[in-house]
Structure 1
């Protein structure tokens, strides 16, 4: 087999999740080839919403700035019940450099990731279709057909399926897709300019609730809106994309604006979607893994599937690199499978309870009209809803990779580390300024002045015994309180806390690292 046809990792599928994983692996120096049967990156005129956690993921991969320049930041959501305005909900969340979600053209995400991958030396073979996958004891083989029509075999140490719910990798491995369709519900979607009584605020999402109907209008970066109408499904046999008049009539009913006009964008785009809640029974079989749509699918509301796929690539990339380089035991890859399956279940459960996916009956609408303003004035439900939609509530507390050995504060092992202000080295910064996707980070938070230097040096000696890239920072909260107990947080490359321990607890740190990482060879 020619050397050019052998690679560390072959990723089957060049969508956002596959490209994000390839970028993550190249950041660790792992050789990657992405095979994608489409000849050119997709530029479909669809719009998606990248949530705050997904923007953090893209920042870690070096891709966020380009999207921010091209997208629209969404600062609020206006909610109407039977034509009556019942509240305005801000979309921002604290503890992040990306407090607001971003409306982007979905077709812009893939080219940005592909440019980043090529800059890192990754190989993207477009117009190349994967035909067969075979696992070997120490790797895998992928038969492909290139744009010239010729077939060849790519050898690799690892193969990752990012080729969708019916993709070759999952079906070849015989992994069942568990779950079921969600009957009786459909979504009609179209990109269009709208002439209506609600104006054209480019930072505002509008949600209209009517009997058995929820209509959502999200501004598009290219102008106009993406219009979604969620309603009961009278006939599942109808699969054709909706015509503009069908969507216009639904939108007019939801907005109580019978005179509105709808003008499809150029190029036009429309879609009729049904709903499934499914996840692969396993995300790993030996040296084969599943990411993105190959791993899980659910209702296409608000782009959460794209966000979850990026999160999965972010979770897997550093783990696969650590195992490939021999830093960590293969069991580390099993934590990707368990964590990502739990993430998918959490998101599917939360999103299935949102108003768009539960077009309301008249009693529910009446109750919303009465109690909605009071609930929003209280603020607690709004904050919870924003935390869910941002994906910041997703944690890995139950993961075997999360260990709690005590320490102060409400933050627990498995939680995402919030971007709080701290003082480090005499300067003020955010916690995320100290993190890096290419290493672990140990944060030493002293209990009183002068105790941090010795603790940091001792923890560096512990870290030096293990094959784990890491850096140590001693930090002080900006709102430091006298007598505050000290503690340590060992933060994973993906920003989740792996270990929480008391200040100076080298035994807890060594026990945690010894479970997952190889010891470095001691000099003779």
Structure 2
């Protein structure tokens, strides 16, 4: 019996599989599709995700394959309004890494194979039921073979039409945005081509138009093309894309060599709970939203990282099963925030009234003139601003915040196959004694605290669990006792 059965081998399922495999948890990863994604789809891996990839051990492969976007420029009414400079991101990865989803999946699958695990393709989950100690799942193979499997945990990373979510009976509430959008992965040349290391956003009177750089000298164009009427329409032609580019970005730009032309609508939906019993959801199975800001895939991958260390500790008996309750509460709050922010950005970009457009452009030009606004915008896009201040795992002033990677002495917390808390304290002897009392939960060697007068327990995913005074050892012991095995 596999400890964990993961349904869906996109970026989220692959991230979860990589994390669990390096923690020594036995897994199966299935996907009903016969092959991996072949198109670019989600394009950007943000700073916080790259930081977490450091813990996974695969950042370098991504950096070698991606293109580093250094900022974004917003234009409207014939002038530059401003935009975030990603060098303001307080991270070792102060950029957005532009990389097609097909490459993201390829690199994660290669990393997973290093643990001796491969994706089982052409395998579909047809039904499941929960048991006292896990789940029973029925799998259908491409050759017609049926298989009944038992697993301690079942995780749905199977997208917006999730079979796992449907099996749980969880409502997927939300709406569809009213516009029809065009997407084109092409090449650009001519006068007015934006810099190859920046995202270019045009607020045009007929609707927004965005150019994203892609590795290999390509670019993605995304734009609204009118109100959606629900009727199926053929994919756009290159001529249609050229006319759109000329109208909204300037006649000097020429598009050619298309590899993907498509239309889509934006759906904004989310569950209110990310699991029941021993069955959980992550990624698009739990939340879908506007692509504005490029948050979707990153949010899903961070769902996976959040869930993985908790599953590992519970499965090895080092933590109480109640630890898993924090997954839904933490990631539900993040999902709500991402949905709200992406929806707001989309609404702002798609204003149709000329007066509203003029007011938006003036306001953006004013506010983007302030460095603090640009810095906060970059922090939000990069997801380094995400934290868990309201989590049941966050205790003490400042708990729940991201522990900056540069504040970690030696390997980052959770590096290698060790999903344990890291103690940062001034008294190494007392710290070692505390760790010895909770060997399954805390790494044995405490680290010097970069914040004088403080004691911190940092979670395996790099967020502060406990924040206390340097001498408050009782608080630390109580924190660990509450979360240790029953």
Length-normalised TM-score, structure 2: 0.93
Equivalence for 2:394: 402
Equivalent-residue separation in structure 2 for 1:8 and 1:294 (angstroms): 21
SS in 1 for 2:355: helix
8 A contact 2:211–2:222 mirrored in 1: yes
Equivalence for 2:414: 436
Query: 1:274 is matched with which residue: 235, 243, 265?
Result: 265
8 A contact 1:47–1:106 mirrored in 2: yes
Corresponding position: 1:235 with 2:229:
yes
- Specify whether residues 21 and 485 from structure 1 end up closer, same or farther in structure 2 by C-alpha distance, changes over 3 A only: closer
Equivalent-residue separation in structure 2 for 1:440 and 1:231 (angstroms): 50
> How far apart are 1:303 and its partner, in Å?
3.2
Equivalent-residue separation in structure 2 for 1:62 and 1:298 (angstroms): 29
> How far apart are 1:40 and its partner, in Å?
2.3
Equivalence for 1:38: 33
8 A contact 1:279–1:295 mirrored in 2: yes
> How far apart are 1:201 and its partner, in Å?
2.4
Equivalence for 1:468: 441
Corresponding position: 1:503 with 2:470:
yes
8 A contact 2:84–2:378 mirrored in 1: no
Equivalence for 1:152: 147
8 A contact 2:109–2:118 mirrored in 1: no
Structure 1, residues 424-448: CA drift from partner, whole Å, max 9, x if none? xxxxxx5584422433344535xxx
SS in 2 for 1:395: coil
Equivalence for 1:214: 208
Structure 1, residues 303-355: CA drift from partner, whole Å, max 9, x if none? 31110110000000000111111111111111001111111001111122226
Equivalent-residue separation in structure 2 for 1:369 and 1:124 (angstroms): 47
- Specify whether residues 234 and 439 from structure 1 end up closer, same or farther in structure 2 by C-alpha distance, changes over 3 A only: closer
Structure 1, residues 77-115: CA drift from partner, whole Å, max 9, x if none? 222113322335312244322111110011011121112
Equivalent-residue separation in structure 1 for 2:228 and 2:166 (angstroms): 32
Equivalent-residue separation in structure 2 for 1:58 and 1:444 (angstroms): 22
What's the RMSD between the two structures over aligned residues?
Answer: 2.2
Equivalence for 1:427: none
Corresponding position: 1:415 with 2:394:
no
1:45-444 counterparts in 2 under 5 A?
45-46=40-41, 48-87=43-82, 89-182=84-177, 184-199=178-193, 201-230=195-224, 232-255=226-249, 257-265=250-258, 268-354=259-345, 358-360=349-351, 361-370=353-362, 372-404=364-396, 412-420=398-406, 433-437=411-415, 438-444=418-424
> How far apart are 1:123 and its partner, in Å?
4.2
Query: 1:24 is matched with which residue: 15, 19, 24?
Result: 19
> How far apart are 1:158 and its partner, in Å?
1.1
SS in 2 for 1:60: helix
- Specify whether residues 441 and 281 from structure 1 end up closer, same or farther in structure 2 by C-alpha distance, changes over 3 A only: closer
SS in 1 for 2:369: helix
8 A contact 1:402–1:497 mirrored in 2: yes
Larger Rg: 1
Equivalent-residue separation in structure 2 for 1:473 and 1:465 (angstroms): 13
8 A contact 1:419–1:432 mirrored in 2: no
Which segments of 5 or more consecutive residues in structure 1 lack a partner in the other structure? Answer: 1-5, 407-411, 422-429, 446-451, 478-483, 520-524
8 A contact 2:432–2:446 mirrored in 1: no
Equivalent-residue separation in structure 2 for 1:339 and 1:83 (angstroms): 42
Equivalent-residue separation in structure 1 for 2:481 and 2:226 (angstroms): 54
Which segments of 5 or more consecutive residues in structure 2 lack a partner in the other structure? Answer: none
Equivalent-residue separation in structure 2 for 1:185 and 1:357 (angstroms): 13
Structure 1, residues 117-145: CA drift from partner, whole Å, max 9, x if none? 12112242112122221211112122112
Equivalence for 2:431: 459
Equivalent-residue separation in structure 2 for 1:340 and 1:371 (angstroms): 32
8 A contact 1:418–1:431 mirrored in 2: no
> How far apart are 1:224 and its partner, in Å?
2.0
SS in 2 for 1:78: strand
